Structure 1
Amino acid sequence: MKRVQYDRHGGPEIMYFGDHDLPPAGDGEVRVSVRAAAINPFDWKLRQGAMKLFSGRRFPKGMGTDFAGIVEAVGGGVANFRVGDEVFGTVDFKRSGAFAEAVMVKASHLAKKPPQLSFAEAASLPIAAMTAWVAIIDRAQARPGARIFINGCNGAVGAFAVQLAISRGAHVAGACGPASRDNVRAAGVHPIFGYSDSQTYTLQGTYDAVFDTLGTLDVGPSFAMLNPGGVFIDINPTPARMLRGMLSQRYKLAFATMGIKRLPEIAELAGNGTLRPAIGLEAPFTDALSVIADTEAGRRISGKAVLAF
């Protein structure tokens, strides 16, 4: 089968279409014929070597983590999936390779695809929705009347965070770019600030949680935006941010891997319309190299970039 892969860490120029054979499904594993795969910043960060201490030194490595498709084979001990099921999920980052015609994945990293969603919509869910779940449900503990500020409320993670918070009865304020204001307002965010309005939104009262999806807020001053007992939630930790944040119990980290067990609940919420994936670009797999490179370079689209097979 064909997949997008690379032989060393580096920039987009090292990606290529390569041949790869999947082994038979082992215990607890499921082989899925991929119908759509969503592009995440995490994918090119892995290729660049950001996680090389944990991802191993064996090459070539496949690219891609989030996907949706049809089950082709199941290994021993897998009771909740069978051949022909439509599923979506995410690949362990040590075994990335969802930008491929087929993928082998742990059954625990899969959920049934809601019939209301297309394969492209389902593929756009895992990393973004799992991250949002950990931040809003687990860390912020969104509840009726809670006040939550989301920096980057228009991005993939931010949009799901808004939807989850509002579904739990929380009041959401946020910062976004000018082109996204109408969509963010329609989603229920109020008030809405620009990224340069930090002097303004830090004076608009305090919050039960501040969720920085972009890694652009200064951790220290952001603590001043919190109510007593409020938390600052970070998904872009740098050594400096963590050093500053770890001095306070109000600093919380949120990673997608913490939310893998929530995939069935995410599927249910997507099926009933509480979570609404947004597709900005759906391109054929044959264009994968250029689409990944363009997305990595900052090509602006409103919604997820998805590869269709």
Structure 2
Amino acid sequence: MKRVQYDRYGGPERMYFGEYALPQLGDDEVRVAVKAAAINPFDWKLRQGAMKLFTGRRFPKAMGTDFAGIVESIGSKVRNVRVGDEVFGTVDFRKSGAFAEAVVVESHHVAKKPSQLSFGKAASLPIAAMTAWVAILDRAQVRSGSRVFINGCSGAVGAFAAQLAIAQGAHVSGTCGPGSRYSASAAGVHPIFGYSDRQAYTQGGKYDAVFDSLGTLGVGEGLSMLTKKGVFVDINPTPGRFLRGMLSRRYKLAFATMGIKHLTGIAELAANGTLRPTIGLEAPFSEALSVIADAENGRRHAGKMVLAF
């Protein structure tokens, strides 16, 4: 079988199609034939070495985290899915490997795919929706009447965050680029600001929750936008920010890995239309290297970039 892998940390030039063999199936693992895999910035950041403290230096390493496909086999202790089920899920980032013809993952890393969604749209859910869930529902505890500001409200994570907050009955405003204003407005975000309009962010008052889905707001800036009991949620885990998150009740970090337990809930919300994944480009797996490199170099689309198998 073939997968996208790399033989050392570095840029897009380190990627290549390599042959691989799947490990023996564990008691609580499932083997999935991949039908679609979604590209996340996290994938190339891992290849660049951003998390090498956790991913180590044993090569070659596989790429890709989010996928959707069909269960081919299950371990003896697996109860949540059966052979033949259509599922979506995510691979432990320390292993990765979703940009491949098949994957073996722990059973709690998958959930049944909503029948209403294509494999491509289902593959677009995990990391983005898990991060948004943790930020909006777990960390910020947004509820009806909350005033929420989302920095990057049209990106994959930001759009899901806006959808979740609006579904809770919150009033959501945020930032996005000029080309995304229409879609953000149609989703219910108002008012919408440009990234350079920072002096205007709080013109209508301060917020109960500020979610920086881009990681570009300073901690002090985010905290200054809050009401007295408001919460600033960030996805930029530098050592200094991580320490501050441990010490402050008003500054919290959100990680996708915290949301794996919510995959079934995410599936339910996608099935009823609360979460609405959007595909910007769906390309064949054979073009994976160029598509990933294009995304990494800034040539992106309004929606997720997906590899189809």
TM-score using structure 1 length: 0.98
Match of 1:19 in 2: 19
Deviation of 1:71 (Å): 0.4
Whole-angstrom CA distance in 2 between matches of 1:72 and 1:154: 35
For residues 189 and 80 of structure 1, the distance between their equivalents in structure 2, rounded to whole angstroms, comes to 36
- Separation in 1, partners of 2:281, 2:97: 20
Secondary structure of residue in 1 paired with 2:44? helix
- Name the counterpart of 1:63: 63
Q: Deviations over 1:57-115 (max 9, x none)?
A: 22111100000000011112002211110000000011100000000010010000000
Counting only pairs closer than 5 Å after superposition, residues 1-309 of structure 1 correspond to structure 2 as 1-242=1-242, 248-309=248-309
Distance 1:298 1:273, change over 3 A: same
Q: Do 2:69 and 2:86's aligned partners in 1 also have CA atoms closer than 8 Å?
A: yes
| % same residue | 76
Give me the TM-score of the superposition, normalised by structure 2.
Answer: 0.98
Structure 1 residue 223: Cα displacement: 1.2
What letter matches 2:155 in structure 1?
A: G
CA RMSD of aligned residues (A): 1.1
Shift of residue 241, structure 1, vs aligned partner: 4.0
In structure 2, the residue corresponding to 1:295 is in which secondary structure? helix
Greater Cα shift, 24-33 or 116-125: 24-33
SS of the residue aligned with 1:159? helix
CA distance in structure 1 between the aligned counterparts of 2:180 and 2:273, rounded to whole angstroms:
21
Does 215-224 or 107-116 show the bigger shift?
Answer: 215-224
- Note the C-alpha offset of 1:27: 1.2
Deviation at 1:272, TM superposition (A): 0.8
Give the whole-Å Cα distance in 1 for the aligned partners of 2:246 and 2:62: 34
- What amino acid does structure 2 have at the position aligned with 1:2? K
In 2, the alpha carbon distance for the partners of 1:80 and 1:240 equals: 39
1: CA distance, partners of 2:240 / 2:103: 37
Structure 2 alignment gaps of length 5 or more: none
Whole-Å separation in 2 of the counterparts to 1:139 and 1:246: 13
C-alpha displacement at 1:25, in angstroms?
1.2
Give the deviation of 1:247 after TM superposition.
5.6
SS in 2 for 1:94: coil
CA contact (8 A) 1:4 1:100 kept: yes
Q: CA deviation at 1:222?
A: 2.1
CA contact (8 A) 2:245 2:253 kept: no
TM superposition shift of 1:218: 1.8
- Between the aligned partners of 2:144 and 2:297, the Cα distance in structure 1 is 39
How many residues in Structure 1 have an aligned counterpart in Structure 2? Answer: 309
Contact 1:69 1:86 in 2 (8 A): yes
Deviation above 2 Å: which 4+ runs of structure 1? 237-249
Conserved? CA contact 1:219–1:245, under 8 Å: no
Q: Is the 8 A contact 1:4 1:18 kept in 2?
A: yes
Structure 1 contact 219–244 (Cα < 8 Å) conserved = no
DSSP 3-state at the match of 2:104:
strand
The amino acid across from 1:86 in the alignment is E
Cα distance in 2 for partners of 1:146, 1:270 equals: 23
Pairwise CA distance, 1:38: 0.2
Aligned partners of 2:111 and 2:267 also within 8 Å: yes
Report the more deviating stretch, 200-209 or 238-247: 238-247
Distance 2:12 2:127 in 1: 21
Q: Distance in 1 between matches of 2:300 and 2:237?
A: 24
Amino acid at match of 2:205: G
Query: What is the distance in 2 between the residues matched to 1:160 and 1:204?
Result: 23
